[in-house]
Structure 1
């Protein structure tokens, strides 16, 4: 039995249908922000409400709705949950072996100022990880690093969530942008150029925002030179690389430029007043003089991690890992066979080709994606295996740490499975498209509301890529109908989406798991929500101006 999506299922009205579609979103906000439920309870009840609405209001067959939830739950484990497990595990290894003390000391040797440490790790290093891996790994790793350096868990997670705004559009080697080319037919380079003429206008201010959140406006001015070096170098590199190199490299290039520029600058300049936490010792760890070899060894797990996730992000090597390589290299052919053995896509019972797209009339394929070797989490696990030898950890301690890590984050994993399950149910029922169609009816004001589509998409799905897949065609068609440049609309969807990443239930669960705030996702939501809305408003204004008085900025 098939199910055809109906975007006017409630009272034969698009408006009423859209209003009903917002119920799970509003409930989730209420559950976390007001009721202050634990994340997994909020996620589980949101999923139950979404399934009920899908069945009752949108007339989705029960078996289809449940199958869709199961597809989302599987995706919540692979690749998202797998990234969290391995990221936290790698961090735990460095802590258990005492090497994180050396890492902490090496960071303090660059600067003891906590404000600049946050910029270096949350903003610059986090952007690099986003460009190489994405899917939650940057927030998990950088938040854990900041906690290890002495930052309070809530502050560390919140700062990393906000810092992750700047690089998300070009994350995972540009996948959020390149995926739109196949959907719309518009070259990815053109979309990349337009995004590169929006996000740098926001990215340049992110370091300043981070420091103001930490210490207030007055103390932020004390490190203004460092803030400017970090933000301007990142923004300029992001603009140039996105406009002349394409969508694949902006995060890698801009993060490295920012990181190197700030590190070099700090060799010649330090703030007159070093900002420390009240809990910091008066005698800093910099007095523990570690040798270069000790520092290199302590950082080696993250160096290996960087190499692996960078390799995993290369599109051509990704084909090898997924078993789709067709070249003649003998070594790659062997790896390709291994990748093929660990890559399979079984059809989802009661869902595959059962749902008919309400816009196109085509059947929607539904498969469970098991890309075990190609998953970014596997790259991190391999880094952890190599780190076992570099840090000289016994297999017993290595295995015990792994089991402890899984036990530590079991509830965040449940949260992620539930919220991704909700996202899949919402897509199957047509809830997301219904919301998009309502915003598309705003006419001449659509350029202003266009980024809101991306924001909603990322909030629900947790992924800028998924949001672009969901709304790219709608953005293109609506833009054509009102005389707006489609390239600008697609860029707006991407840029608006990045501002929703910090409050996505998936991302909140990742951050909470990384810093030991399990069950306190509501505090993270409260921390990040206003900044998400402020940044979204900024993108809306930028997009509207570019569609009216700043049309010269459109490529």
Structure 2
């Protein structure tokens, strides 16, 4: 076969298997099925499942899609490197940035700030902690960190464990698309060639719909109909402001900062409203946390890291007065024509495939900007350190970075292998064959598009991994079915938002955080209905956006 020879060029085909599209699609889907079966069926770790699926994808690429061995290996290598940088570089930097607040002791002050905002009402505090602070943690860290942290915080308020777990799981929906500095969207843009800014703007016309209702749902989860009846105004204001900020920031500011801005805006709106209104709080909904009056300096230092992130990213993305900083930063990017792959991997007309170009954004990368923010935070916290309560030094910051990398090595390996799998499937033609085949459903595919994102995130626990698996497929289906590919790629991202609610990985994190290991089946039964309703809402919205009924709302 041609796949066993070192051919000079290779152009992927949608009918490589027996000259038939259906046969090619069914064979091409085998690596995805392998990944899901190993992960969900055999319950292997995601790292092993990704590695096994990558091996199967390589075999399928070589022997079924006739991709030369050398090009297949180079394709896998490009995907793995992309998984390491920029994807996991951003995630590691984000989690380290959060860890600085923990090792410095300032995180406890931030927790006290949230405890004082709700005036002792558990329902209001739970909503603000799970939704606003959880959204901020999702923006900076993601990968289960918001669930673990906010779950423990709700337990400290006196909330029953399972109720706390369900609350934080539901809250960790609307912000997920823009989590970890919007890395799911950045990944989708890199894989499809669609500008990430365009995908982000479209997602910003979808997930804010969830943000409108999630705070109200959280009140219901915490205190049933009574909580909803007594505290709905504060939830409505928080949700509306969060949604508006998410919509605006995704299109007009830095899309990487969307959740940071939306979370702070929602929190600020709640604080302002509570100056003039507060719910009547039943005795059984009073917080068990003793309030502590914090000095203005301690409050300022607790909030400093998150305000600094907005300033640094805002300047880096928007500063054009006297000097065009965004253009200068973009000018430091380096493009690498992947050796051995570029020029040999070609499109149908024989021109070099742009997918074989690797973009090395070493300075403009969000991970690097977060690193700069982290260094500044470490310096400020070191200057204002106090032995005992706030012990901080540059050495502790460096140690925290090493500990973050060590703690995340499995996640790093998993994402790297999933991206390797994605690149092999994309560049060999497997993904395009599947997408073209699915597009046979016609315009109705827009309705089912979010389901793929939901499934990918439900199984992998990561919206980033879901986009790595399906973004290119969604794009191919859109081209064939005559549906805007940007809409479908965004739908994949938005569908993944509600898939995270039922992900086994997240269920385990939630159960552990509230001290109820083994309660995952109970949690699944409690949240799966909410996930299904939210998914149906998104499917309907995306379908209407693909028609003249709501197409006007798209950017």
The answer on 1:378 being equivalent to 2:382 is no
Aligned match of 1:499 in 495, 513, 519? 495
* Counterparts of 2:273 and 2:264, CA distance in 1: 14
Q: Distance in 2 between matches of 1:12 and 1:116?
A: 61
The worse-fitting range, judged by mean Cα deviation, of 4-13 and 121-130 is 121-130
SS of residue matched to 1:321: helix
- The alpha carbon displacement at 1:5 in A equals 0.6
Tell me if structure 2 keeps the 8 A contact 1:188–1:247: no
With over 3 angstroms needed to count, the CA separation of the structure-2 counterparts of 1:257 and 1:104, relative to structure 1, is closer
1:303 aligned onto 2:325: no
Change (3 A) 1:212 1:75: farther
Residue 422 (structure 1) aligns with: 421
Distance 1:503 1:437, change over 3 A: same
Query: How far off is 1:55 after superposition?
Result: 2.0
| Aligned twin of 2:481 | 478
2:147 touches 2:509 (CA, 8 Å); kept in 1? no
CA contact (8 A) 1:201 1:235 kept: yes
Deviation at 1:293, TM superposition (A): 0.7
Deviation at 1:441, TM superposition (A): 1.2
Structure 2: gaps of 5 or more residues = 1-7, 156-160, 383-391
Q: What does residue range 515-554 of structure 1 map to in structure 2 within 5 Å?
A: 534-545=533-544, 550=549
What are the within-5 Å matches in structure 2 for residues 410-449 of structure 1?
Answer: 410-443=409-442, 445-449=444-448
Spell out, residue by residue over 1:326-350, the C-alpha distance to the aligned partner (whole angstroms, 9 max, x if none): xxxxxxxxxxxxxx3xx43333233
Distance apart, 1:290 and its partner CA:
1.9
Distance 2:285 2:328 in 1: 47
What is the TM-score with the length of structure 1 in the denominator? Answer: 0.74
Distance 1:406 1:294, change over 3 A: same
Matched residues in 2 for 1:513 and 1:64: separation? 39
**Which digits, 9 at most, give the CA deviation of each residue in 1:208-260, with x for residues without a partner?**
455666777776666433332222333456667889x6996976775554332
Q: Are the equivalent residues in 1 in contact too, given 2:10–2:346 (CA < 8 A)?
A: yes
Q: Is the 8 A contact 2:418 2:468 kept in 1?
A: no
Q: CA deviation at 1:414?
A: 1.0
User: How does 1:142-221 map onto structure 2 within 5 Å?
Assistant: 142-143=146-147, 145-146=149-150, 149=153, 158-159=169-170, 161-165=172-176, 192=201, 198-209=206-217
In structure 1, runs of 5+ residues without a counterpart are 325-339, 480-485
Q: 1:106 to 1:499 in 2, by over 3 A?
A: same
From 100, 114, 123, the counterpart of 2:107: 100
Cα distance in 1 for residues equivalent to 2:203 and 2:411: 32
Which secondary structure does the structure 2 equivalent of 1:353 belong to?
Answer: coil
Corresponding residue number in structure 1 for 2:50: 43
Question: Which TM-score applies when normalising by structure 2?
Answer: 0.74
1-structure distance, mates of 2:209, 2:306:
30
* Distance across 1 between alignment mates of 2:407 and 2:62: 35
The more displaced of 214-223 and 311-320 is 214-223
User: What is residue 260 of structure 1 aligned with on the other side?
Assistant: 268
- Cα distance in 1 for partners of 2:363, 2:42 equals 40
Instruction: Identify the residue that residue 3 of structure 2 maps to in structure 1.
Output: none
Q: Distance in 1 between matches of 2:121 and 2:148?
A: 18
- Which residue of structure 2 lines up, in the alignment, with residue 397 of structure 1? 396
Q: What is residue 14 of structure 2 aligned with on the other side?
A: 7
Q: Secondary structure at the match of 2:293?
A: coil
Structure 2 distance, partners of 1:208, 1:318, is 39
Deviation at 1:76, TM superposition (A): 1.4
1:238-249 equivalences under 5 Å are none
Question: How far is 1:401 from its partner?
Answer: 2.1
Q: Take 2:448 and 2:474, find their aligned partners in 1: how far apart are those partners? A: 13
2:242 partner SS:
helix
2:238 pairs with one of 221, 230, 245: 230
Alpha-carbon deviation of 1:108? 0.6
Aligned to 1:388: 378
| Equivalent pair of 2:450/2:538 in contact (CA under 8 Å) | yes
> Is the contact made by 1:163 and 1:210 (CA closer than 8 Å) also made in structure 2?
no
Q: Deviations over 1:399-428 (max 9, x none)?
A: 222222221111111111111111111111
2:177 and 2:496 in contact (8 A); partners too: no
* Alpha-carbon distance between aligned partners in 2 of 1:529 and 1:27, rounded to the nearest angstrom: 24
Q: 1:351-371 CA distances to partner (integer Å, 9 max, x unpaired)?
A: 22222235x553213234332
CA distance in 2 between partners of 1:508 and 1:78 (Å): 27
Contact conserved, 1:301 with 1:387, CA < 8 A, in 2?
yes
- Say what the alpha-carbon RMSD is for the aligned residues: 4.7
SS at match of 1:346: strand
Q: CA deviation at 1:314?
A: 4.0
**Is the Cα–Cα contact under 8 Å of residues 183 and 469 in structure 1 kept in the other structure?**
no
SS across alignment from 2:336: coil
Aligned length: 510
Instruction: Indicate yes or no: 2:339 matched with 1:349.
Output: yes
**How many angstroms does 1:535 deviate by?**
3.6
Distance (Å, rounded) in 2 between the aligned partners of 1:312 and 1:174 = 19
